[in-house]
A = this chain, B = another copy of it.
Amino acid sequence: MDVFFKIEYENNLMRVGKIITDHGVIETPNFVPVATLGSIKALDSVSVKNLGIQAIFCNTYHLHLQPTEDVIYYFGGLHKFMNYSGVILTDSGGFQAFSLGQALVDRVGKIANIFPNESKFNYHFKKSRKILQDKLALMDKDGILFKSHLDGKIFKLTPEDSIDIQLKLGSDILLTLDECTSPLASYEYTKESTIRSFYWTKRSYEYFIKNKNNFKDYRRFLYGIVQGGYYYDLRKWSLENVLSLDFDGYAIGGSLGRSKEDLYEILSWLSFPKNKPRHLLGIGTINEIFVAIEHGIDTFDCIIPTRYARTGTVFTKYEDNYKNNFTLDLTAAVYKGKDVKKYDLPIDENCSCYTCKNYSVAYLNHLFNANEISAMTLLTIHNLYFYNELLKNIRLSIINKNYDKFKKDFFA
């Protein structure tokens, strides 16, 4: 069998390698942007590919509701349907057990402080909250009971359902069904959930092994998800059990604590076999990405660069804006004050993205404040380019053995 993952350079826990699928290679470490409904929001598939994005992350829950896995299967699977020729990963639907469940009650993201204020929370969940105030997802032993955020229809997602849907969607890399626990969950609840998640993980694995050969057009790979929240013994228990099955790779899911420091601690507890890739789910900010890579993570997915773009926030490396996680708010008034001439410049004069090559901050600000759709597209292009270049430079710095200097300069 052809190799799926190979490591080319190592430096302490960090590694530079290649995940090799029948839809192309992911150079690792790498960032995988989120294409929830089979589309990176505000960007068409060919533009995504042309940006140099090697892999995208689609969502089982959302695609099951619309247009449904049967429609996508009928039209030849996600790659053909979307006309995207890179690697496709799919979430199992387990994250929505959280985001449409306890997250609505606790008003938190995967890391407790991700929504520091009510208005941000309301922005992120406004669609779900329009329909009802309470949970849209409940767990039982067999799977997740969802109430569709679109039409209120109740449906169940078992581990077998999740794998079935993902196989029909035609993703290259599938994930086992799990529950993503809230960062505010108690030890008792997290323990119960971690045990249940592994039970689902095992059922996902068995069902995948039995059925993957029905799909002979290209290889499908399955990652097992390690849960356990912010509890050392539960993470260890989950890891040990997941490692007992022959997965193609591993994912780290669930609550990653109440702060960034908790995330780092959780990562330091987990030690994986070297020869398989590791994906960190739902991460992250620039800071988190550096730390994840230092802990040997190969890939991570997150809505941050794309969602930030659609709310007018771009990533740049200016002066001391690392304090602000390298973000700049383009919706602020830029036409006042003595520095106005500088807004005639692009977001970043050193950036080679389409947006920076063609448009000034002043124009982007105008487009955004005039609610022009193209503003979202242009900022999405910039933010994805920024993440992609950063990851490329991190890989190079590991290969060239100057990661520490690169990081120091980046945060300077």
Does A109 count as interface, using CB distance less than 8 angstroms? no
Complex-state Cα separation, A76 to B335, whole angstroms: 14
Chain B hits for A365, CB < 8 A: 67
Does A14 count as interface, using CB distance less than 8 angstroms? no
Interface size class of A (residues with CB under 8 A): 35 or more
Q: Which residue of B lies closest to A363 (CB)?
A: B81
Chain B hits for A366, CB < 8 A: 37-38, 66-67, 71, 81
Given A67-B335, A344-B75, A367-B39: A373 and B362 interface contact (C-beta under 8 Å): no
Does A41 count as interface, using CB distance less than 8 angstroms? yes
Interchain nearest-CB distance for A22 vs B (Å) = 21
**Other-chain residue from B41, B82, B83, B354 in contact with A373 (beta carbon distance below 8 A):** B41
Say whether B358 contacts A75, CB under 8 Å: no
Complex-state Cα separation, A348 to B82, whole angstroms: 17
Given A37-B370, A82-B363, A372-B37: A378 and B74 interface contact (C-beta under 8 Å): no
Q: Which residue of B lies closest to A127 (CB)?
A: B371
Residue-wise interface mask of A (352-388) relative to B, using a CB-CB cutoff of 8 A (1 in contact, 0 not): 0010001110110111011011101110000000000
Does A44 count as interface, using CB distance less than 8 angstroms? yes
Q: Which of A317-349 contact B (CB under 8 A)?
A: 335, 340, 343-344
Say whether A370 contacts B75, CB under 8 Å: no
Chain B hits for A43, CB < 8 A: 374
Given A67-B335, A366-B67, A373-B376: A360 and B44 interface contact (C-beta under 8 Å): no
Say whether A75 contacts B39, CB under 8 Å: no
Does A158 count as interface, using CB distance less than 8 angstroms? no
Chain B hits for A41, CB < 8 A: 372-374
Given A37-B370, A66-B369, A370-B66: A359 and B44 interface contact (C-beta under 8 Å): yes
Does A46 count as interface, using CB distance less than 8 angstroms? yes
Chain B hits for A39, CB < 8 A: 367, 370, 372, 374
A: residues with CB less than 8 A from B are 37-46, 66-67, 71, 74-76, 81-83, 310, 335, 340, 343-344, 354, 358-360, 362-363, 365-367, 369-370, 372-374, 376-378
Ordered by A's residue number, 18 sampled pairs between the chains whose C-beta atoms are within 8 Å are A39-B367, A39-B370, A39-B372, A40-B374, A42-B372, A43-B374, A44-B359, A44-B377, A45-B358, A45-B359, A66-B369, A67-B362, A67-B366, A67-B370, A75-B362, A81-B360, A81-B366, A374-B377
